[in-house]
A and B are shown apart, each in its own frame.
Chain A
Amino acid sequence: MDAVDGNAIGGLLHEVFGSEMTTTVSICGTCGTARQVGELAVYAHAPGTVVRCPSCDNVLMVFVKIHDRTCVDLMGLAALG
């Protein structure tokens, strides 16, 4: 499956975080690379949405829609915003 950009999940991010997030800077918890969220690699056709660091491929964020709730895991990030 081809990755898309963080921009493609702008709506999901806004819904979860309450504001526009694609220009927010994220720091990868594994390799330390800083990127705008819009530049991250998004795998959006899985059972959930997986956001990975474009430099080291490690998982930064995972969003899963479980019934009516969206669950978010941000453990792969060192920092967001």
Chain B
Amino acid sequence: MSPVSRGFHRRRQDSAENAGRVPPGQYVTKDFPVLSAGPTPHTPLDGWSFSVGRPGRQKTWSWEEFRALPSEDVTVDIHCVTKWTKLDTVWRGVSVDTLLDLAGHDGPFAMAHCDGGYTTNVPVEDLTGGKAWVAYAYDGQPLEPEHGGPARLLVPHLYFWKSAKWVRSLELMDTDDPGFWENYGYHIYGDPWREQRYAGD
């Protein structure tokens, strides 16, 4: 049995006021921790593009074209697999519904590809119906590189490793192939409300 550290307390979820908003095993933070699997890319906007589709059949937008698309402000709670939850985060972005409609999508699954090589897989059903965005602003400001700027995927109903930073494309696929963390043992789907942190959970 591990010794008890006298007087040490884990960060706890604030009890009553946030009840129902905090998934099991999470605690509420006021910070916005920066977690990364690698160095922060710095992609200049004139070199940035975003694509949706399959290899050879993609719809691609430049930064100007992307910013001209209809966008919306959303306020969402986000849940990181490392156990922090942040409530009422405010983003501005283009709904993935809009992007898939314009790209004429098909394929039940998608892989997000990012500058720096990060990938993550999400079922298309979880990217549509108003559940996901490609976000370019946070808290009223352009998204900073350390938080995924110029643009990141935002899929708040899944663990935040699915909200891929520095996203550059959504590749549509027929199978639910694992992305970066999924390959190393994280859950293929990642529902925080069922505490699906690791494969087999």
* Chain A interfacial positions (CB closer than 8 Å to B): 1, 3, 41, 43, 45-48, 50, 52, 57, 59, 62, 64, 66-67, 71, 73
Selected from B184, B198, B199, the residue in CB contact (under 8 A) with A73 is B184
Number of residues of chain B lying within 8 A (CB) of chain A: 20
Q: Are B38 and A47 in contact (CB under 8 A)?
A: no
Nearest residue (CB) in A for B82 is A47
A64 vs B185: C-alpha distance when bound (angstroms): 7
* Chain B interfacial positions (CB closer than 8 Å to A): 33-40, 81-82, 116-117, 146, 161, 181, 184-186, 198-199
A16 vs B77: C-alpha distance when bound (angstroms): 36
27 contacts between A and B (CB under 8 A): A1-B36, A1-B40, A43-B36, A45-B34, A45-B35, A46-B35, A46-B36, A46-B37, A47-B35, A47-B81, A47-B82, A47-B161, A48-B37, A48-B184, A50-B37, A50-B38, A57-B38, A57-B116, A59-B37, A59-B38, A62-B184, A64-B181, A64-B185, A64-B186, A66-B198, A71-B185, A73-B184
Q: Are A1 and B185 in contact (CB under 8 A)?
A: no
A53 vs B57: C-alpha distance when bound (angstroms): 34
- CB contacts (< 8 Å) of A64 on chain B: these are 181, 184-186
A-B contact count (CB 8 A): 50
Nearest residue (CB) in A for B146 is A1
Secondary structure call for the A interface: strand
- CB contacts (< 8 Å) of B116 on chain A: these are 57
Q: Are B184 and A45 in contact (CB under 8 A)?
A: no
Selected from B34, B39, B161, the residue in CB contact (under 8 A) with A57 is B39
Q: Are A66 and B185 in contact (CB under 8 A)?
A: yes
- CB contacts (< 8 Å) of B81 on chain A: these are 47
A64 vs B37: C-alpha distance when bound (angstroms): 12
